[in-house]
Amino acid sequence: MAASRKSLFALAVSAFGIGTTEYVIMGLLPELAADFHVSVPRAGILVSGYALSVTIGSPILAVLLAKMDRKLALMWLMGLFLLGNVGCAMAPTFSLLLLARIITALCHGTFFGIGSVVASRMVHRSERAQAVALMFSGLTLANVLGVPAGTALGQLFGWRSTFWALIPIGLVAGAGLWSLVPSQMPDRVHVKDEVRTLLKPQVMIVLLLSTISSTSLFVVFTYIAPILRDVTGLSPHAVAMVLVLFGVGITLGNLLGARLSDWKQLPSFLGCCAVLICLLLIMPTAQRYPAGSIAMIFAWGFVHFAMGSPLQSRIVDQARGAPNLAATMNQGAYNLGNALGATIGGIALTAGMGYGHLGYLAAGIAAVVFVLGAFELRADRKRPRLTTNSDFIPMGH
């Protein structure tokens, strides 16, 4: 994989920019709400609007780009990223800012969908999950570096400065894609064939697992700040530091998950899921103590994202007839889970559940993931093994 590391680095830089522009908005909601004279809950539409754009719009864009050279498609998507962020930085009204966010989000799922295929096709089959994880390391690093830095920048110099700062990142990413990523023509598949591929049970189950696992994460993560403040008793500054630690955990977990996936895909996913359930059951108790809560946040992020790499790798393997669209749909599934998790958590809190008990709810949802994954593993062992001579696709220009 050494020969393709520069190409994977270009993909990772792009992922860093996209990840930062998605999550940085959460830290800037108070500033945005004050500037546009709207309430913070109304400003939250900027978050949900982005997620729904990824879920609904990205698959449509993936179909439109299905016949385009993958390198060229990635370049077009980074152009969309730049256009959207310029629109965010210059938006004179809240409605136009929301529109710019929706435009920016269109590149999100499609980029990670096509990028996953590009990354996996540049290496030997035995290293595919590691290659995809290296690209996604840019997304996880966005949570460690990009989001805290972007939030601090916006708080010091105004929220628009954050979006202007994303422009040079997009330009560097685009230059890297142009000069380092090899051209890859997509397989010749018709839209009907792609849809038929998506309806395969082994593809649908991955999308379902992605959605429910993300739901489990965001039931707690959406409300992590009040949990750490009100249950653990940490100061706002300490909460920010703990979230950085969470970002480190998900970065390391993503890399470990890739290695486990290249070894045993579904068994490693189920093993991580079992550990995750145990952590979530312990979480309500651990959150009462600062040391326990901090250790739990790191371990929780580490294990949960170790689960993610096998799913992303599996969607590419199982949807060989429509890898671009399937991988894009998988990103949409994650974002749908984000919205569902926040909603379910909010309903539980409104019904009287305390912040400290959300871990139990997340554990129950993760248990559903484990059961579905176990059924898929059993079904997978009964399926005939297909052989192919195209496991390794050499790099080209």
Q: pLDDT 10s per residue in the chain (397 long)?
A: 454 777 888 899 999 999 999 888 876 777 888 899 987 667 777 877 888 888 888 888 887 887 788 889 999 999 999 999 999 999 999 999 999 999 999 888 889 888 878 887 777 766 776 787 788 778 878 877 888 788 788 878 989 999 999 999 999 999 999 988 888 776 665 666 667 767 778 788 888 999 999 999 988 887 877 788 889 988 867 777 787 888 888 888 877 887 777 677 788 889 999 999 999 999 999 999 999 999 999 999 999 988 877 777 777 677 666 666 666 777 788 888 877 887 788 888 888 888 889 999 999 999 999 999 998 888 777 766 544 433 333 333 4
Count Cβ atoms below 10 Å from residue 122 Cβ, excluding itself: 25
- The whole-angstrom separation of Cα 238 and Cα 294 is 10
Same fold for the domain at 1-181 and the one at 188-385? yes
Closest CA to 365 of 384, 332, 391, 337: 337
pTM, two decimal places: 0.73
CATH superfamily of 1-181: MFS general substrate transporter like domains (1.20.1250.20)
Closest CA to 307 of 245, 359, 373, 379: 373
pLDDT at 191: 63
Q: Where are the domains of the chain?
A: 1-181, 188-385
pLDDT at 187: 62
pLDDT at 392: 31
Q: CATH for 188-385, among 3.40.250.10, 1.20.1250.20, 3.30.110.30, 2.40.30.10?
A: 1.20.1250.20
Contact indicator for 361, 353 with CB cutoff of 8 Å = yes
Count Cα neighbours of 320 within 13 Å in the Cβ-side half-sphere.
8
pLDDT at 307: 86
pLDDT at 138: 86
pLDDT at 395: 34
Amino acid type, 220: V
pLDDT at 316: 66
